[in-house]
Chains A and B, each alone.
Chain A
């Protein structure tokens, strides 16, 4: 009975939602989807800026402040969303029925409401009671939303560790808590980290939504540029390329981390 459970969970299926596709770290050919996309994006951006510095270079130079804000919001959201997701994941596998119910209800509610609606709710709807700045609203909304998504990733990653690991640890005399710290989490990290990285990349893309609340991120800078110049095509072309380059680089970073985490298993892949 326990045996079949182990076999099923050994599949390590972790739900991956949106986010950039993570390049396979064992893919060493020079031309692959990732390198081709990155090369095309960089070459296009440079070409546009060299051939028509007006307006393309001007648009690009208008953006750095926005890039900084985008990263700032993303990083702050990651700092809250990852611990929140971790706690949610633990809550969903808790033996305490109350904690489990709270965690599951949180996930159900948040997953059922679009992020844009959550943003508006915190920024506009709640303004009747509290005034929250655009950046704070953005970080709160994104953290709460992605905390729920990541809760699922953490739950699945922890559940994928065979029950025999817990039994071996408990039979040596480790407590439930020690078992989690020394045995389960170090192993679960390996399955958890790639999808969490993926969620973080998706998060960076979703920060574009905050431009609606006048937060000066990349997208908001573009909108204000367009507002004065009406250069829709040129501006949004540059914006798309900038987002693409950032997410491609980040997804490479995630895949490198993933490869490093595979140090102990010679049989995987």
Chain B
């Protein structure tokens, strides 16, 4: 990536703390993500993994520490968070498609209004993305007509329509029926193969093994262990990770 010739991380979290009331949700999180790196965050529910992810694009405001995206401090008021968010695509557990817009309009709204694309440019881009996620034939229907798996693929396409440099996935398959998990994971694997920088919170250990460069295990708001997926899954060192893997696999 051109702006990172010397391997400075595209995302850097430094001593990040976050409290929900008086409960610490994140405790001193330090995390660097390099360009094109695929990071998967795992951990029990309530471990703070979604909070950590959501704090990167400031959907959660952190209480202490620093987060840099492409070297820009996201909590610094002089940096426009909305411009930083253009570079951070996000996919949610509940899809959150805009129900009053067709699939096509879901993909073109932000590029037209925020990037100043004209309609035909935005639609060309949208059709290419819909083809990529395999639902071009549904361009003109409303989201309520789609299955969960289709909706989530549209949601991924919607995020990609802004041509982000980094994709954040917040448990993208957790709300799906089992038979639809595969179609969404396949889209994500394609993205990873194309070199997209990705941070993914998931319970899909198979996905973590095949795609991740690095797996991070979080528990009680802390990064407990991290490393190469094979090493981490086959030789967990920390007892809490051992306990977690024994229960989930």
Contacts and interface: CB of A to CB of B under 8 A. Distances in A.
Interface of A: 3, 6, 162, 164-165, 167-175, 178, 182-183, 186-187, 190, 264-267
Interface in B48-71: 57, 59
B209 interface: no
A162 B143 CA distance: 15
A173 B110 contact: yes
B83 A264 contact: no
A267 B86 CA distance: 33
Contact of A165 (B85, B86, B90, B98): B98
Contacts, number: 69
A182 B100 CA distance: 10
Given A264-B144, A267-B144, A171 B99 contact: no
Q: Which 7 A-B pairs have the closest CB atoms?
A: A168-B96, A164-B96, A171-B90, A173-B85, A172-B110, A264-B142, A173-B82
B159 to A, nearest CB: 7
A183 B98 contact: yes
A267 B100 CA distance: 13
Given A171-B85, A173-B114, A264-B144, 14 more contacts: A6-B94, A164-B92, A164-B96, A168-B90, A168-B97, A169-B98, A171-B90, A172-B158, A173-B83, A173-B85, A174-B110, A186-B100, A187-B99, A264-B101
A140 to B, nearest CB: 35
B20 to A, nearest CB: 8
A167 B113 contact: no
B145 A266 contact: yes
Contacts of A264: 99-101, 142, 144
Contacts of B142: 264-266
B159 A3 contact: no
B88 interface: yes
A265 B88 CA distance: 30
